[in-house]
A and B are shown apart, each in its own frame.
Chain A
Amino acid sequence: QQPVQSPQAVILREGEDAVINCSSSKALYSVHWYRQKHGEAPVFLMILLKGGEQKGHEKISASFNEKKQQSSLYLTASQLSYSGTYFCGTEISSNTGKLIFGQGTTLQVKP
């Protein structure tokens, strides 16, 4: 049931773009994205709901393909502060808030 994230790790230069993917074998009700810096708590980035509704930070964009049970997080014009581990959390039971998190994608942005 755990979603699969890809890539596992990515290294970028400042200003470059990246895409992080999250794929589930189960039908999804929603997908949540979080970023965690080393030794810190995960921080909310975005929620994508079945039916197209989205909620999150203005500078973050993401997509949710309900038919393919996949979500992608788009990081454009990356900054040093984008470095961290990105987790997708998938909700397979309707509207419970119960999330199953992927294994994470580590992003390193270099000057």
Chain B
Amino acid sequence: EAGVAQSPRYKIIEKRQSVAFWCNPISGHATLYWYQQILGQGPKLLIQFQNNGVVDDSQLPKDRFSAERLKGVDSTLKIQPAKLEDSAVYLCASSLFQGANSEQYFGPGTRLTVT
């Protein structure tokens, strides 16, 4: 079974520029998560989708970050404008269903460097 796909793998931008990340979850997985992982820290949930609806976006900085999951499959995460503190690895994960007993499968991540 194919895993979670993400692109690009690496991105370097200047502050105040915009950037977009793409995620394709495992086929059939209803729940999709975007995490931000700053170097040396654990992943921090930004947004959780169930199919194409948002379940939780309480930690998403909505003044600059946006995300969508059209048709309940692929998802994009956008940052506009980027700040230096946005430098991190952005991980996408998916799970078969929403619930405590559903393990999350992570993609390889996109490493963002903001200069």
Binding site for B on A (CB under 8 A): 2, 29-30, 32, 34, 40-44, 47, 49-50, 53, 55, 87, 89, 91, 94-104
A30 surroundings in chain B (CB, below 8 A): 100-101
Main secondary structure, interface of B, reads loop
Known contacts A44-B105, A97-B102, A99-B45, then 15 further A-B pairs from the complex at CB < 8 Å, ordered by chain A residue: A30-B100, A30-B101, A34-B106, A41-B106, A47-B103, A89-B43, A95-B100, A96-B48, A96-B56, A97-B48, A97-B98, A99-B104, A101-B44, A103-B42, A104-B42
Instruction: Decide if A41 touches B100 in the complex (CB within 8 Å).
Output: no
Chain A residue numbers with a CB within 8 Å of B103 are 32, 44, 47, 55
Chain A to chain B contacts (Cβ below 8 Å), 14 pairs: A29-B100, A34-B106, A41-B4, A42-B91, A44-B104, A53-B101, A89-B43, A96-B55, A96-B100, A98-B55, A98-B56, A100-B45, A101-B42, A101-B44
**Cα-based distance from A42 to B4 in the complex (angstroms):** 12
Verify B41–A91 contact, CB threshold 8 A: no
Closest to A97 in B: B98
B interface residue numbers (CB < 8 A to A): 4, 31, 40-45, 48, 55-56, 91, 95, 98-109
Shortest beta-carbon contacts, A-B, top 9:
A101-B42, A41-B106, A30-B100, A44-B103, A97-B98, A87-B42, A42-B106, A95-B99, A95-B100
Contacts of A95 in B (CB 8 A): 98-100
A30–B101 CA distance with the chains assembled, in angstroms:
8
A interface secondary structure, majority: loop
- Across-interface contacts of A98 in B (CB, < 8 A): 45, 48, 55-56
Complex: chain B residue closest to A85, CB-CB: B42
Report whether B109 and A41 are in contact in the complex, using a CB–CB cutoff of 8 Å. Answer: yes
Are B100 and A49 within 8 A (Cβ)?
Answer: yes
Docked Cα-Cα span, A89 to B48, in Å, equals 15
| Residues of A contacting B108 in the complex (Cβ-Cβ under 8 angstroms) | 40-41
Among B31, B43, B45, B108, which residue has the most Cβ atoms of chain A within 10 A? B43
Complex formed: what's the CA distance from A47 to B98 in Å? 14
Give the residues in chain A near B104, CB-CB below 8 Å.
32, 44, 97, 99
